[in-house]
Amino acid sequence: MGFAGLKKYSIRIGSGLIVVLAFILHAAHIVDYGYLNRMEMLSYDLRLNLTLPHSHESRVVIVDIDEKSLAEEGRWPWSRNKLALLIDNLFRRKAAVVGFDVVFAEKDDSSGLKILEGLGKRDLAGDVSYRTALMKMRGQLDYDGIFAREIKDKPVVLGYYFSSNAEKGKERISGKLPAPVVPAGTFKGINIPFVEMNGYGANLVELQENAGNAGYFNQIPDSDGVTRRIPMLIEYGGAYYEPLSLAVVRALFGYPEAVPGLVQTGDGGSAYKRLEWLKMSDINIPVDENVMSLVPYFGGQGTFPYLSACDVLHDRVNPDDLNGAIVLVGTTSPGLMDQRAAPMAAIYPGVEVHANMIAGILEQKIKKKPAYAMGAELLILISTGLLLSLLLPFLTPLISTLVSLLTLACAIGINMMAWKNNLVLPLAASVVMILLIYILNMSYGFFIETKAKRKITGLFGQYVPLDLVVQMSRNPEKFNMEGESRELTVLFSDVRNFTTISESLAPKELSKMMNEYMSSMTSIIQKHTGTIDKYIGDAIMAFWGAPVQDLSHARNGVLAGLEMQQALASLRPQFVERGWPAIHIGVGLNTGIMRVGNMGSQFRIAYTVMGDAVNLGSRLEGITKEYGVGIIVGEGTRNAVSDIVFRELDLVRVKGKNQPVAIYEPLGLQGELDKSLLDDASLFEQALKNYRTMEWDSAEQILSGLQRLSPESLLYKLYLERIAHFRADPPDPGWDGVFQFKTK
């Protein structure tokens, strides 16, 4: 892997690790990303809605002050004597406990008692009979007293509310608070961020003193306005008070003590305590860091049975509906404005939130979100983040997608397993992080690597076959156009007698013929993975082994040369039919060390090869016509190929070279040649040996026999002429059998 490859991977890995760090900082509450908080709330709602049971086991019943009841009984508030009748009917039907999701903060003067007492003090102050009658009627007209007497010694839980944000000295305080569920000083020296209030609106003293208990109905929504949690303790004046739901459950069990579950973390000076639950008898109520509990919603509105308050007042309900029931008196009437936003619906009755909470406490289905949830989230973020950051850069897009989807599925699966066991772990951060790391890697591949691939295609598309361009684009950092020395194979081809041919054809016909010829030859070269260097008039220059390394470059070059000759043999009859000449070409190939890369001037450069080995390839093409053969290869090419049959043609010194080189004609692949051709090659080899040892008679005899079999062969004729020449003018005693070419 080169520097460019390392750089590519390091950028992608580094980007992934930065993403992981950013999400770890959020999970550790060092930085806060608002969008993740919003997504976490949405993911909570999604999980909740997907797993709603839509049923419950607890006997929670809602007595609803609904539109029907308001139409029949009049507008709210109703007189307290009417509510006393409601309580009487509920307990006659053997309700287990009754909780009010309303507050009775003001006196009920609807009976007119206050007016009658005023008359007795003013206009009728001296009327003894009036005062006597009023005394007899007072008990019937004191509706608050009637209601207080009705709830006395019964498990009736009143509702009230806390308020905050008032300036000191201007707090709104009315009515009487119940006794705190946890006394002041319990958490002295322990830093627990309770919900703290500085005002309240409670029930009349007379009512509170006769009620079994009271609980606040404050429901604190999250930042998006949705009620997901309620505070299980609110701090006021240093003491701690309970919600309506907890107060109702405690009333059901005879008011047992609610014991805070304090857990100590660490030792010595680093030790601190946190509140993780409230324990009541054998029931544990889990709380979070703000001593709030998640509302265990069982379903949408109507999951709990509703009874119209007017039907209870007039005894129009089935007694079985109330037998042993935990009754909550509240309202769904829009006009009374006790509506909330819940995860299941934008409008949800506040009284049913309390009903869900009561059922959740009794059935122990309140989900826990303990302090160690942050540690679990950090573990998931670190493990999945490191895995994807270090792995995805080295994978293909398809495998990256599969790995990311599998990681995402595992993260969601683990989260849902915890959810089903009533443990809430954060989900949004891990999902977003996994997707972001995946998108970053895919984006890098699309924008950066695709750019590199386009660059490779632009640089080499005109030189090399499409298959090689695709291969190069997979690892573009491995390929560039900088000059380097490498062993390559070069090919030159040239149309013989092209000047005469061009003069015999009209320009348009010549262009058509050459386009067809060049297209055919180019496709063959590229089929054998060759790189087209250039077209020089009628000549083609190509090479093998660059830019993509090819260990079989010599073999591929020779096979391309052989197929070019075969293809031209098929083209010639077609050319003749169209009135074009039957062209012939010479092909020269040579293998050796060459300089390859972008070369040229500041005005024009090209990806090409240079060097002595290239020059020799050009010379070999030029002498093909001297030997009457279609292809001549150099000694380097011959030695690099093992499965092709070659016939040695000569030892020559080409112009510009002092060192003699052996030249060969490739005949074809082993096992694919006719026996007669192999026999001729073997005879010529023997004749060549005799020729180099100056055994002229033996050489001439063999060559003459070959000439009779192939009278058109220039090769045999050439050697017969040389023998005749050497008979008349014998070579020097030190002759090495090398023929010296004087021209290119």
How many whole angstroms separate alpha carbon 558 and alpha carbon 637?
8
What average pLDDT is seen over the chain? Answer: 88
Lowest mean pLDDT among 192-196, 440-444, 535-539: 440-444
Q: Is the per-residue pLDDT at 499 higher than 50?
A: yes
How many whole angstroms separate alpha carbon 217 and alpha carbon 79?
22
Give percent of the chain above pLDDT 90: 68
Q: Give the contacts of 268 (CB within 8 A, at least 6 positions apart).
A: none
End-to-end CA distance of the chain: 44
pLDDT for the residue 168 = 66
Lowest mean pLDDT among 68-77, 511-520, 594-603: 594-603
Lowest mean pLDDT among 175-189, 238-252, 458-472: 458-472
**Host H or E run for residue 259:** strand 258-265
Question: Smallest Cα–Cα separation from 279: which of 366, 351, 208?
Answer: 366
Q: Is the per-residue pLDDT at 455 higher than 60?
A: no
How many whole angstroms separate alpha carbon 368 and alpha carbon 420?
11
**Host H or E run for residue 429:** helix 428-443
Lowest mean pLDDT among 22-36, 225-239, 412-426: 22-36
**Host H or E run for residue 63:** strand 60-64
H helices of 301-427, in order, are 309-313, 350-363, 372-391, 397-420
Q: Is the per-residue pLDDT at 288 higher than 80?
A: yes
Give mean pLDDT, residues 95-115. 86
Question: Does residue 423 sit in helix, strand or coil?
Answer: strand
How many whole angstroms separate alpha carbon 200 and alpha carbon 171?
8
How many whole angstroms separate alpha carbon 170 and alpha carbon 160?
19
Pairing of strands 195-196, 234-236: parallel
How many whole angstroms separate alpha carbon 189 and alpha carbon 289?
16
pLDDT band of residue 3 (cuts 50, 70, 90) is very low
- Give yes or no for a contact between 543 and 531, defined as CB atoms under 8 angstroms apart: yes
Lowest mean pLDDT among 281-295, 452-466, 560-574: 452-466
The three state secondary structure string of 535-582 is: EECCEEEEEECCCCCCCCHHHHHHHHHHHHHHHHHHHHHHHHHCCCCC
Crossing angle (nearest 10°) for helices 372-391 and 397-420: 170
Q: Is the per-residue pLDDT at 171 higher than 80?
A: no
pLDDT for the residue 196 = 93
Q: What is the pLDDT of residues 425-439, one digit of tens each?
A: 999 999 999 999 999
How many whole angstroms separate alpha carbon 450 and alpha carbon 457?
10
Crossing angle (nearest 10°) for helices 372-391 and 428-443: 10
- Give yes or no for a contact between 108 and 144, defined as CB atoms under 8 angstroms apart: yes
* Cα–Cα–Cα angle for 328, 329, 332, rounded to 5 degrees: 110
How many whole angstroms separate alpha carbon 61 and alpha carbon 322?
8
Q: 576-613 in b/e burial notation, b at 16+ Cβ within 10 A?
A: eeeebbebbbbbbbbbbebbbbeeeeeeeeebbbebeb
pTM: 0.65
- Between residues 547 and 362, the one the model is more confident about: 362
Longest Cα separation, the chain? 176
In Å, how far from its chain's centre is CA 189? Answer: 47
Task: Record the tokens describing residue 131, joined without a space.
Answer: 């005062």
Lowest mean pLDDT among 227-241, 334-348, 466-480, 634-648: 466-480
The three state secondary structure string of 275-293 is: EEEEEECCEEEECCCCCEE
Cα–Cα distance list, 235 to 192, 216, 569 (Å): 11, 12, 102
- Give yes or no for a contact between 650 and 628, defined as CB atoms under 8 angstroms apart: no
Give mean pLDDT, residues 308-331. 95
Q: What is the pLDDT of residues 542-574, one digit of tens each?
A: 999 988 888 999 999 999 999 999 999 999 999
Q: What is the pLDDT of residues 607-644, one digit of tens each?
A: 789 999 999 999 999 999 999 999 999 999 999 999 99
Give mean pLDDT, residues 410-414. 94
Task: Record the tokens describing residue 397, joined without a space.
Answer: 């897009």
Q: Is the per-residue pLDDT at 464 higher than 70?
A: no
pLDDT for the residue 446 = 59
pLDDT band of residue 451 (cuts 50, 70, 90) is low
Give mean pLDDT, residues 293-316. 95
Bridge partners, residue 738, by sequence: 651
Give mean pLDDT, residues 458-478. 52
DSSP codes of every residue in 195-215: EE-SEEE-B-HHHHHHSSEEE
Q: Which residue has the tokens 């499409």?
A: 466
Pairing of strands 539-544, 585-600: unpaired
DSSP codes of every residue in 586-651: EEEEEEEEEEEEEEE-SS-EEEEEESHHHHHHHHHHHTHHHHT-SEEE-HHHHHH-SSEEEEEEEE
Q: Is the per-residue pLDDT at 305 higher than 70?
A: yes
Sketch out the chain's domains with CATH numbers: 3-32+371-456 (no CATH), 60-363 (no CATH), 480-663 (3.30.70.1230), 674-732 (no CATH)
pLDDT band of residue 475 (cuts 50, 70, 90) is low
Q: Is the per-residue pLDDT at 311 higher than 50?
A: yes
Q: 152 in the Ramachandran plot: left (φ > 0), alpha (ψ -120 to 50) or beta?
A: beta
Q: What is the 3-state composition of the chain as percent helix, strand, coil, each rounded to the nearest 5?
A: 45, 20, 35
Give mean pLDDT, residues 669-681. 93
Give mean pLDDT, residues 707-715. 92
Q: Is the per-residue pLDDT at 4 higher than 50?
A: no
